Structure 1
Amino acid sequence: MNTATHTNFQRLIFAVETIPSAPTAVVHPCNAAALGGAVDAAKAGIITPILVGPRKKILAAGADAGIDLSPYEIVDAEHSHASAEKAVALVREGRAEMLMKGSLSTDELLGPVVKRDAGLRTARRLSHCFIMDVPGHANVLFITDAAINIFPTLEEKVDIVQNAIDLARALGIETPKVAILSAMEKVNPKLQSTVEAAALCKMADRGQITGGVLDGPLALDNAISPEAARIKGIGGPVAGHADILVVPDLEAGNLLSKSLAFLMNADSAGIVLGARVPITLTSRADSVQSRLASCAVAALVAHRRKEAAAIEGVV
């Protein structure tokens, strides 16, 4: 197994070279990591950043890190809460097509996003999706939700699954294979995640979830390993070949994604879905390639949405 290459992310980053850079409101980028991620993505042609936050702090952080900010627009905001509100306003005005988290908490960033009147809500619940590039695994793995919904209900899982399917399709997977994970493959009334997995699969059969092929409950091994699925006698198109792994709760998703990152040297891109625009969540611990991949994923989603809106407008 080659643990040094992440070719799937390289392909994602290359894919955005064919589309225009996405105007992106970078929210409260007041440290070197936040500024560096935005500027790296700008230099790669992925985004056109609008830096939203306290002007003096942004310029000081840029000077300390040796980053030239003169090519980029700065929208002054008093503090982190105001930064998030002004960034959301830029989206509503049509000046930004993406949001990118800077040096503020996720709650601060999403607070203005979910406001009913002035936010960016849609009919969908917000959810987070990790896109993992695991060395030795042929394709990227989507893991959801590992960052926003702590103990999602069945109703909320419908949106979580649909958001992930739509993301995978935007990245070129025509019919994503979705594994609804649990600790076992059989429905057991004593384990709620198995019951909800079966319900989600039936909801997909009835058209309440569209665009993907669902199976579950599935344990992790027989979701991603054809050999494990064969040994356990689990057939169907999803078992052993899942693109999307839907975890029972945030804790399971967090453990799974970090296990892949720190034990398998996987790179991860993170994106929030369900709002009017994609939102990238990056961490100070992310590699440069992870930051670029997160921006690339969001840019591709934004571009696909523009294309779909243009087609609807013509029709």
Structure 2
Amino acid sequence: MTAAVSVQDASQQSSRRHEKYERLVATAQSLPRLKVAVAHPCDAASLGAVFEAAELGLIEPILVGPEVRIRAITEALGKDMSTTRIVDVLHSHAAAEKAVELVRAGEAEAIMKGSLHTDELMGAVVRREGGLRTARRISHCFVMDVPSHETPLIITDAAVNIAPTLEDKIYIVQNAIDLARAMRVDPIRVAILSAMETVNPKIPSTIEAAALCKMADRGQITGAVIDGPLALDNAIDLGAATIKKIQSPVAGRANVLVVPDLEAGNMLAKSLTFLADADAAGIVLGARVPIILTSRADSTITRLASCAVASLVADEQRKQLAVPEV
């Protein structure tokens, strides 16, 4: 069975094709395997996804967790792990710390969440001493495959920053733009969302949207066309934008949606998932390496898409490191 057929099979497990995710996986398959430290893959769902991604040539996993438990689950899955490296640690907290340590030692290019809490993993990542912080604010993006929408939608931030300040949003927007560029999106159109498309002093998110747009005009945010405030309907639906007579290169065509806060982002992503049959591949950006966040409810194709997105981000980072300083 070829890798391409395997991707289609994984896609069909959830009763529909996922052409957008399949394209991401196919692009990532053309890149070098991503060396991924998998933190505490101690259930069938997380470990099964690791083997799927490895078999498709997306990742070269390093399994970090209790070796006895990992081997028992692997045996139950009927997988061969003779060529897979295991780093034996006692528990999930130690697994998160060791995964970060592997990145700092240059042995891994990304981290993948296994069967541990997101807070536990991110606690090790953001630790000031020995973590993976950079000068940027760390933020989360969903790459959403919405059946009725032509292109993938990037939604940020729905998992990390609870009530981001305007300064935080500069990094959130830039991280999302960099993700879109790594995904080969062109042009990148960013909509700063609010409840309306006009600036209203009584609604802070509209003022922040206007400020972010002006920052983009002045080169403080780069790499995309940005507009806001925009309501969700006129951000993604050209008909709605036309009815409102909004003249904008972004309105009706946005492929990156920046929400006001975590609650809005979480509700938007879950609404699309449960009401529109969408899937949500998750990744954390702004750290030294991409962090692959998966959910226990994720389908196989969604987990593969998360790995593919991380591979594309890591490839973009390699390119930037290869550019000589002027």
- Secondary structure of the residue that 1:9 maps to in structure 2? helix
Deviation at 1:235, TM superposition (A): 1.1
Deviation at 1:18, TM superposition (A): 1.1
Query: Would you say how many aligned residue pairs link Structure 1 and Structure 2?
Result: 312
Find out whether 1:90 has 2:102 as its counterpart.
yes
Partner Cα separation in structure 2 for residue 290 and residue 305 of structure 1? 23
Of 63, 71, 84, 1:59 maps to: 71
Which AA in structure 1 matches 2:108?
Answer: A
Deviation at 1:116, TM superposition (A): 1.8
**Deviation sequence 1:45-96 (CA, Å, 0-9, x none):** 0000000011112112223333333331000112111111111111111110
Match of 1:252 in 2: 264
Partner Cα separation in structure 2 for residue 179 and residue 304 of structure 1? 23
Match of 2:53 in 1: 41
Find out whether 1:16 has 2:28 as its counterpart.
yes
Root-mean-square deviation (CA, aligned residues, Å) is: 1.2
Q: TM-score, normalised by structure 1?
A: 0.96
Find out whether 1:111 has 2:126 as its counterpart.
no
Which AA in structure 1 matches 2:126?
Answer: V
Deviation at 1:303, TM superposition (A): 1.2
Which AA in structure 2 matches 1:290?
Answer: T
Counterparts of 1:58-77 in structure 2 under 5 Å?
A: 58-77=70-89
- Secondary structure of the residue that 1:304 maps to in structure 2? helix
Find out whether 1:127 has 2:139 as its counterpart.
yes
Partner Cα separation in structure 1 for residue 306 and residue 161 of structure 2? 20
Runs (5+) with no aligned partner, structure 1: none
Q: TM-score, normalised by structure 2?
A: 0.93
Match of 1:267 in 2: 279
Partner Cα separation in structure 2 for residue 67 and residue 104 of structure 1? 22
Which AA in structure 1 matches 2:212?
Answer: L
- Secondary structure of the residue that 1:312 maps to in structure 2? coil
Counterparts of 1:212-231 in structure 2 under 5 Å?
A: 212-231=224-243
Partner Cα separation in structure 2 for residue 253 and residue 23 of structure 1? 30
Answer whether contact 1:31 1:62 (CA < 8 A) is retained.
no
Find out whether 1:140 has 2:148 as its counterpart.
no
Answer whether contact 1:272 1:278 (CA < 8 A) is retained.
yes
Which AA in structure 1 matches 2:267?
Answer: L
- Secondary structure of the residue that 1:172 maps to in structure 2? coil
Of 282, 286, 304, 2:294 maps to: 282
Deviation at 1:125, TM superposition (A): 0.8
Partner Cα separation in structure 2 for residue 186 and residue 118 of structure 1? 44
Runs (5+) with no aligned partner, structure 2: 1-14
**Deviation sequence 1:234-284 (CA, Å, 0-9, x none):** 011000000100011111111111111111111221100000000100111
- Secondary structure of the residue that 1:168 maps to in structure 2? helix
Partner Cα separation in structure 2 for residue 268 and residue 71 of structure 1? 30
Partner Cα separation in structure 2 for residue 190 and residue 236 of structure 1? 24
Identity %: 64
Match of 1:169 in 2: 181
**Deviation sequence 1:97-150 (CA, Å, 0-9, x none):** 010000111111011211223111101111000001111211110000001111
